[in-house]
């Protein structure tokens, strides 16, 4: 038989549980009634405002691929005529006003400035737009672009409009180059890639217009230049180091150049798929050695 003291303790415990349950129910009812929920206390972290893809450089640091903004004018005409807007914009470009006017009438909404303006120049342009009375219809803007200072090259590859690599090293190393959003950095940056490639020699080899795949390697076996359509093994052999934004080297499975080469001097060996290409390469390297 249960003692009265035990019964009273159990009743007290039930009473506490019932009271707590009632409080929870009343609180939930209030939250729903006021269209407010506990989840409203949670805030998604504010991720990086700008994602900057890592740069690709040659062996000496010459830029081969970089993300940089194009500055220009964002045009959305409501009160201003196209001829008048074009006449103001043309003051800050090398393009005639009539050409800009035709582009605006054709539906273009961004007119680039053919330079990288300083902060002082940007302030002067903004002041000029306001003074001309078109500040609401024509605004300064910056559009992020992937740029290739030495021109397009199958070895370097390309990105799409979303800055995802679609060919060449841009595709192979996309996971390293692309920036990852962070709640701790306003500007997030991808890793930088340094190649074994010599940019000047690469340009000279590409200018030869070779028919097949061809390569120039140093006496140490490093790929200095490549012309043609590289496979992943060739692409991997062109990578020297991958470095995070904070300067830390990132491990990458680098491989030697995958095809048999022919020494032509103490400094160089070459790979070609045709005798005609071989003759052009040998002649080029002889000229560069003079």
pLDDT string in tens for the chain (290-residue length)? 444 454 454 455 445 444 545 454 555 455 455 544 444 444 455 677 889 999 999 999 999 999 998 899 999 999 999 999 999 999 999 999 999 999 999 999 999 998 888 889 999 999 999 999 999 999 999 889 999 999 999 999 999 989 999 999 999 999 999 999 888 888 899 999 999 999 999 999 999 999 999 999 999 999 999 999 999 999 999 999 999 988 899 999 889 999 999 999 999 999 999 999 999 999 999 998 75
Write down the pLDDT at residue 38.
43
Domain 50-67+146-290 top-level CATH class: alpha beta
Instruction: Record the tokens describing residue 32, joined without a space.
Output: 């729903």
Decide: 84 and 101 in contact? Cβ < 8 Å: no
pTM beyond cutoff 0.85: no
């Amino acid at each position: 038989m249960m003692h009265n003291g035990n019964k009273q303790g159990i009743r007290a415990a039930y009473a506490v549980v019932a009271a707590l349950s009632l409080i929870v129910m009343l609180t939930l009812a209030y939250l729903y009634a006021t269209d407010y929920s506990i989840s409203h206390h949670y805030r998604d972290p504010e991720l990086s405002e700008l994602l900057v893809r890592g740069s690709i450089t040659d062996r000496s640091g010459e830029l081969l691929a970089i993300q940089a903004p194009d500055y220009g004018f964002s045009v959305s005409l409501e009160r201003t005529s196209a001829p008048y807007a074009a006449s103001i914009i043309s003051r800050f470009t090398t393009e005639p006003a009539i050409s800009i006017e035709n582009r605006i009438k054709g539906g273009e909404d961004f007119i680039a400035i053919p330079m990288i303006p300083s902060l002082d120049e940007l302030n002067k342009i903004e002041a000029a737009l306001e003074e001309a009375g078109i500040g609401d219809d024509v605004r300064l803007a910056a559009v992020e672009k992937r740029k290739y200072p030495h021109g397009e090259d199958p070895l370097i590859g390309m990105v799409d409009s979303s800055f995802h690599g679609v060919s060449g090293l841009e595709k192979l190393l996309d996971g390293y180059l692309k920036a990852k959003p962070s709640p701790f950095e306003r500007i997030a940056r991808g890793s930088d890639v340094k190649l074994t490639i010599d940019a000047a020699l690469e340009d000279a080899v590409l200018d030869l217009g070779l028919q097949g795949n061809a390569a120039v390697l140093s006496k140490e076996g490093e790929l200095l230049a490549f012309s043609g359509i590289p496979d992943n093994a060739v692409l991997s052999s062109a990578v020297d180091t991958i470095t995070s934004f904070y300067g830390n080297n990132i491990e990458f499975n680098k491989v030697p150049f995958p095809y048999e080469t022919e020494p032509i001097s103490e400094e160089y060996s070459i790979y070609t798929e045709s005798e005609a290409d071989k003759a052009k390469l040998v002649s080029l390297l002889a000229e560069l050695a003079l």
